[in-house]
Amino acid sequence: MHRATEFRLEARPRLPEVLAQLDVLANDLFYSWNHGVRSLFARIDLRLWQKVEHNPKVFLRRVAQVRLDEAAEDRAFLAEYRRVVSAYEAYLESEPGNEVLEALNPSDSLVAYFCAEFGFHESFPIYSGGLGILAGDHCKAASDLGLPFVAVGLLYQQGYFIQTIDAHGHQIARYQCHSSDELPITLVETGGTPLTVSVPFPGRDVQARVWLARVGHISLYLLDTNTPENSEEDRNLTLQLYGGDSATRISQEMLLGIGGTRVLHKLSINPTAWHINEGHAAFQILERCRMAMANGLPFGAALEWVAGSTLFTTHTPVPAGHDIFPRDLVEHFLGPYLQEAGLEFQDVFALGSKNGDHSFNMTSLGLRGSRFHNGVSRIHGAVASQMEGDIWPQIPFGENPIGYITNGIHVPTFLAPEWASLFNIQAPTWKSELRNREFWQFVDRIPDYHYWSVHKALKQQMAEFIVRRLRRQHTRNGTGHSVTERMTRKLVSPEQDALVIGFARRFATYKRATLIFSDLPRLERLLTRPDQPVVLVFAGKAHPQDKPGQQLIKVIHDLSLQPNLIGHIVLLEDYDQAMARRLLSGVDVWLNTPEYPKEASGTSGEKAAVNGALNLSVLDGWWGEGYEKTNGWAITPRDTGLDAEFRNREEARDLIDLLEHEVIPLYYNRASQGYSKDWVARSKASMKTITPRFNAQRMVMDYVRHYYRPATRQGLRLIENDARLARDLADWKARVRHAWPRVSMQVHGCVTDRCFWDESVELKVAVDLNGLAPEDVRVECLVAPECIGTHAEPGPEAFLLAPSGGIDGKTLFTTQIQPPNPGLQTLRLRMYPYHQALTHPLEMGAMLWA
């Protein structure tokens, strides 16, 4: 049969003059955290709004003219529209607070933030999971605070995959192209022509266009290679997030790091502090070195300057989260660029090598090319210090320069509007008190019945959402409505108000989604008690190449259909930000059972807590700091040295014990009012303790104080006076590196082994400096009290020794110390290279002990 050619024609509505600002609102990601903007679109045509998956730009193209015309005549609508528009304008006009102005004045500071993914909203699918959402939240909070801040990323035409789960529980990955006019972005032009940057690749230059996404006060620039100047293959370089092979990955990372830096340069944007968020963006270090070298600096000095103004954040201890490229691949891909840049391959390779092997690690490059480094929770900071300890080979892990800032979430994005309305009544200034723990005591003043009614309404909305999604899923799979009905019977019964436990996140194996099923008969008894039913809701994507992760999906799928469990386990497909908001504000308990210490931070539990859900989690990541006994439940991880199967079994038993003896009884301890007062008390404790600590404003201000401001200052200090300090530092380091292997130290004479507490003890050390000057090193004595019993030991105190003459060609360093502690104490003598221009005293990774 012959089919006629189809032509597509899109008939767009005209936006009435009075509603012209809708177009502006649709082009600012402000809508992703401002519920008022989103509800304007929903009010014009709710069904269409849902159908276009909350995408304002698509909505404005598809909406019927008559709906717009009606809205333009509707006085109530217009009043709301004007209120929203003026709130938006007021937001844009708001000035940064003193706290920001004092730390980072916009007149002379600017932070550049590079990341491979950004998750703002479901309508802008250029994220895969936690890292992207965190980057989005970071930008949003930077905008709220009025920080001088610019972000750089890649525009993936297809983004991450869309997940469906078929009738057999198999994950199907589907990709959908998003055309640029469906996204909240505009093409960046200079003088009427599109801005492009070009990056040298093997045998050709690759061109990238640049898009601007507005995020309130700040700009996000996104590069994309889908332009006619490129070959077909190159046009697809930025097609998918985390797609393709390692050649695709390194290409994308060259575009992000090198291309992204070129974009800022072409736009005359000159950051003073640079934040590399995860290894993907670390190639920016090379491009910034190249630029400094083009201005006359030698490589060493260029690197010192670049590193001194750079922060590198590592986000996971899991190997799959670190890009490691074979040497040949790096040589092939970077070769032409390095040649053009005048950079030596050996120098560059040394920055990324790990343990001297033949591969190039982007995390190592990030760490060696920056002088500020952090992990994303207290536990993760310590784990990262160990994992990356080889960068500072002679430094004890606890002292190397990796610090931590615990992740926080953007509250306006993830707090359900129903809670926000309640807060508006109870504590109208809550939005400006996000970091004030005292202020959040107000939660206790909310009447219990009122508190519970908000939660119950949200839970009901979640149940309706789940029914809709399951229906769609089962209809497509041909499994029919009766399955959906049986699966959701417990969930939708308001009389029963079953306890709902949620678990949604990427299906990576270390997250142990199926841990709760370890003792199935016992779990089944707990879930299915007629008077106390429990429902588990699961969702999440597994990376298309992660077969074990996909197997977890299948296990849960199969369990959810078992006749004895049906109605107690629900598995939803295509987890995204819209679903996250629904689940996190609707469940009673949020479950997380990662394998310690692999959950670097985790953030979804924080989103649950601000919405009144209680966390039940392994003490890992943020929960290691957030758990305060009365604000949720904790599973203590077993020793990591133990056999994995044993650990799983033990931790699973703790989990089920908690459910049986604490969680379920507390929830069902309902009095005549129909809810448990004790549950509400715990929920309030969770909301009021977690909201003010684990939010993105607190996080970003921590970054400002601990990293952005010091990096800005250090960068300026190194570059002023024709980069005198950067040059000195580089020369000095070269000298020290050369001399260090033959530097040595010995205790000179003998050290008294007892004295009275008010006497001093003399210490003398003879150092062979191997040509270094006495002021090139620091010699110190660490004094620590003897450890008594199981008391935590306070850290050692350090006393500096001063050079005082020489003996036998060696330099003597001496000091008199008065014992800082009573009784027995240990003294240890050590030495490390020191220069006043160092960012961190131990950054060279060199240290000797006597």
Ligand X SMILES: *Cc1c(COP(=O)(O)O)cnc(C)c1O
Q: Which is nearer to ligand X, 199 or 466 (CB)?
A: 466
Q: Which is nearer to ligand X, 345 or 510 (CB)?
A: 510
- State in angstroms the smallest separation of the CB of 604 from ligand X: 3
- State in angstroms the smallest separation of the CB of 274 from ligand X: 25
Element (H, E) at 464: helix 448-477
Taking Cα atoms as reference points, which of 783, 792, 791 lies closest to residue 822? 783
- State in angstroms the smallest separation of the CB of 638 from ligand X: 21
Element (H, E) at 426: helix 417-426
- State in angstroms the smallest separation of the CB of 764 from ligand X: 53
- State in angstroms the smallest separation of the CB of 31 from ligand X: 17
Task: Please give the DSSP secondary-structure letter assigned to residue 789.
Answer: T
Residue 846 — φ and ψ, nearest 5°? -110, 135
Q: Which is nearer to ligand X, 297 or 635 (CB)?
A: 635
Cβ proximity of 132 and 119 under 8 Å: yes
How are beta strands 569-572 and 534-539 bridged, if at all? parallel
- State in angstroms the smallest separation of the CB of 139 from ligand X: 15
Task: Please give the DSSP secondary-structure letter assigned to residue 259.
Answer: I
Q: Which is nearer to ligand X, 221 or 507 (CB)?
A: 507
Q: Which is nearer to ligand X, 133 or 659 (CB)?
A: 133
Residues in contact with ligand X by the rule CB under 6 A: 129-130, 133, 505, 575-577, 580, 602-604, 607
Q: Which is nearer to ligand X, 133 or 537 (CB)?
A: 133
Cβ proximity of 712 and 109 under 8 Å: yes
Other residues' Cβ atoms within 10 Å of the Cβ of residue 291: 16
- State in angstroms the smallest separation of the CB of 157 from ligand X: 20
Residues 574 and 163: their CA atoms lie apart, in Å, by 5
Q: Which is nearer to ligand X, 133 or 152 (CB)?
A: 133
Q: Which is nearer to ligand X, 352 or 597 (CB)?
A: 597
Other residues' Cβ atoms within 10 Å of the Cβ of residue 341: 20
- State in angstroms the smallest separation of the CB of 443 from ligand X: 22
Residues 302 and 285: their CA atoms lie apart, in Å, by 10
Q: Which is nearer to ligand X, 183 or 289 (CB)?
A: 183
What are the CA-CA distances from residue 153 to residues 118, 261, 263, 405 (Å)? 7, 10, 11, 22
- State in angstroms the smallest separation of the CB of 130 from ligand X: 3
Q: Which is nearer to ligand X, 314 or 604 (CB)?
A: 604
DSSP string across 219-253: EEEEEE--STTS-HHHHTTTSBTT-S-HHHHHHHH
- State in angstroms the smallest separation of the CB of 90 from ligand X: 28
Task: Please give the DSSP secondary-structure letter assigned to residue 392.
Answer: S
Partnered with residue 211 across adjacent β-strands are 187, 222
Cβ proximity of 152 and 114 under 8 Å: yes
Helix axes 448-477, 481-492, angle to 10 degrees: 170
- State in angstroms the smallest separation of the CB of 574 from ligand X: 10
In 354-433, the DSSP E strands lie at 359-361, 372-375, 402-404
- State in angstroms the smallest separation of the CB of 381 from ligand X: 17
Task: List helix spans (H) across 493-594.
Answer: 520-527, 547-561, 577-586
Residues 669 and 422: their CA atoms lie apart, in Å, by 25
What are the CA-CA distances from residue 141 to residues 145, 157, 174, 439 (Å)? 6, 26, 32, 19
Task: List helix spans (H) across 673-815.
Answer: 677-690, 696-703, 709-739
Element (H, E) at 48: helix 46-51
Q: How far from the centroid of its chain's Cα atoms is residue 450's Cα?
A: 34
- State in angstroms the smallest separation of the CB of 509 from ligand X: 13
Q: Which is nearer to ligand X, 309 or 604 (CB)?
A: 604
Q: Which is nearer to ligand X, 576 or 651 (CB)?
A: 576
- State in angstroms the smallest separation of the CB of 255 from ligand X: 24
- State in angstroms the smallest separation of the CB of 505 from ligand X: 3
Q: Is the peptide bond before 96 cis (omega within 30 degrees of 0)?
A: no
Q: Which long-range contacts (CB under 8 A, 24 or more apart) does 58-67 make?
A: 58/123, 58/182, 59/26, 60/13, 60/15, 60/22, 60/23, 60/26, 61/10, 61/12, 61/13, 61/181, 61/182, 63/13, 64/13, 65/13, 65/14
Taking Cα atoms as reference points, which of 497, 583, 500 lies closest to residue 539? 583
Q: How far from the centroid of its chain's Cα atoms is residue 313's Cα?
A: 9
Q: Which is nearer to ligand X, 409 or 838 (CB)?
A: 409
Q: What tokens were used for 34?
A: 């401002």
Partnered with residue 633 across adjacent β-strands are 616
Q: Which is nearer to ligand X, 32 or 811 (CB)?
A: 32
Q: Which is nearer to ligand X, 590 or 675 (CB)?
A: 590
Residues 589 and 655: their CA atoms lie apart, in Å, by 13
- State in angstroms the smallest separation of the CB of 224 from ligand X: 23
- State in angstroms the smallest separation of the CB of 119 from ligand X: 7
In 175-329, the DSSP E strands lie at 186-187, 189-190, 193-194, 196-201, 204-215, 218-224, 273-277, 310-313, 324-326
Amino acid making up residue 556: I
Q: Which is nearer to ligand X, 608 or 766 (CB)?
A: 608
- State in angstroms the smallest separation of the CB of 621 from ligand X: 8
Q: Which is nearer to ligand X, 121 or 638 (CB)?
A: 121
Task: Name every residue whose Cβ is closer than 8 Å to that of residue 61 and which is 6 or more positions away in sequence.
Answer: 10, 12, 13, 181, 182
Q: Which is nearer to ligand X, 158 or 585 (CB)?
A: 585
